[in-house]
Amino acid sequence: MIYVIGTGPGEIDGITPKALNALNECEIISGYSRYIDLIREYFPGKIFMSYSMRQEVQRCHDALALSRENKNIALISGGDSGVYGMAGLMLEVASGSCEEIRIIPGITAANSCAAILGAPLMNDYATISLSDLLTDWRIIERRLICACDGDFVICIYNPASNHRPDNFIRACEIMINHGKNKNTPAGYVRNIGRENEFSKVTTLEKIMNEAIDMLCTVIIGNSKSYISDGKIITPRGYEL
């Protein structure tokens, strides 16, 4: 049996009871080394299989091989496994194998970030990854433009890295050039649910000066979003 599990933002309290139960049922826990390190201490006695980035396909093939040996294996992703996680790839790799696969949802980075920043996702929103490793930048740019045209709140995953340090600033410039007011409320959280968690509420223009990296999740409001008592609120439209 393969369980594809979202382990939430990082702390043990952020793992859902259903995910905890599934992890406890498994003999082996497999995943990216950073996510393994976040939960290792909570599951003594388990066998851990740690992988580096860009070994995602190998992780799935290894999980499939272990499942065929009648092992129960947990293939983990941070946040939710179906949101930029391992769920889709595992299903693709296992297609036609007849192996049983169960997808266990988790708390996404978008939801965790939103709860810290206030209530910015109270109306329609889009999640967009700025990683152009697997998606051409022209497609990412088009998605940003369409989200601006629709006045969506935008939650940005994978905003910047050592290999693509300018992607986040490029994205902010695209948003400003396609209808997002430079004073639109914006915020980010680094290390959500982990040691040294840090958050900040600011504006779209000013957030370009922040040290945004892969450990951050960013939320940019819509035309109705506003800041109150240091929190971002995107109204649903109720009359007060």
The answer as to whether 193 is a domain residue is yes
The answer as to whether 238 is a domain residue is no
Last residue of a domain, one of 107, 134, 163: 107
- Region 72-90 average pLDDT: 96
Instruction: Check whether residue 97 and residue 208 sit in a common domain.
Output: no
The answer as to whether 239 is a domain residue is no
Q: What is the CATH number of the domain that holds 198?
A: 3.30.950.10
pLDDT in tens, 7-58: 998 788 899 999 999 999 999 999 999 999 999 999 999 999 999 988 999 9
**Residue pair 230/197 in contact by the 8 Å Cβ criterion:** no
Q: What is the CATH number of the domain that holds 82?
A: 3.40.1010.10
The answer as to whether 77 is a domain residue is yes
Last residue of a domain, one of 65, 87, 107: 107
Instruction: Check whether residue 115 and residue 228 sit in a common domain.
Output: yes
Instruction: Check whether residue 98 and residue 10 sit in a common domain.
Output: yes
User: How buried is residue 115: exposed, middle or buried, by Cβ count under 10 Å (0-12/13-18/19+)?
Assistant: middle
Q: What is the dihedral of CA 17, 21, 26, 29, to 10 degrees?
A: 10
Instruction: Check whether residue 54 and residue 148 sit in a common domain.
Output: no
- Region 83-88 average pLDDT: 96
pLDDT in tens, 196-221: 999 999 999 999 999 999 999 999 99
Confidence of residue 69 (pLDDT cuts 50, 70, 90): very high
Last residue of a domain, one of 75, 107, 139: 107
The CA distance from 162 to 215, in Å, is 12
**Residue pair 122/139 in contact by the 8 Å Cβ criterion:** no
What type of residue is 193?
G
Domain count, the chain: 2
**Residue pair 112/192 in contact by the 8 Å Cβ criterion:** yes
Q: Which domain holds residue 153?
A: 110-233
Instruction: Check whether residue 98 and residue 129 sit in a common domain.
Output: no
Backbone angles phi, psi at 95, to 5 degrees: -55, 125
Query: pTM surpassing 0.75?
Result: yes
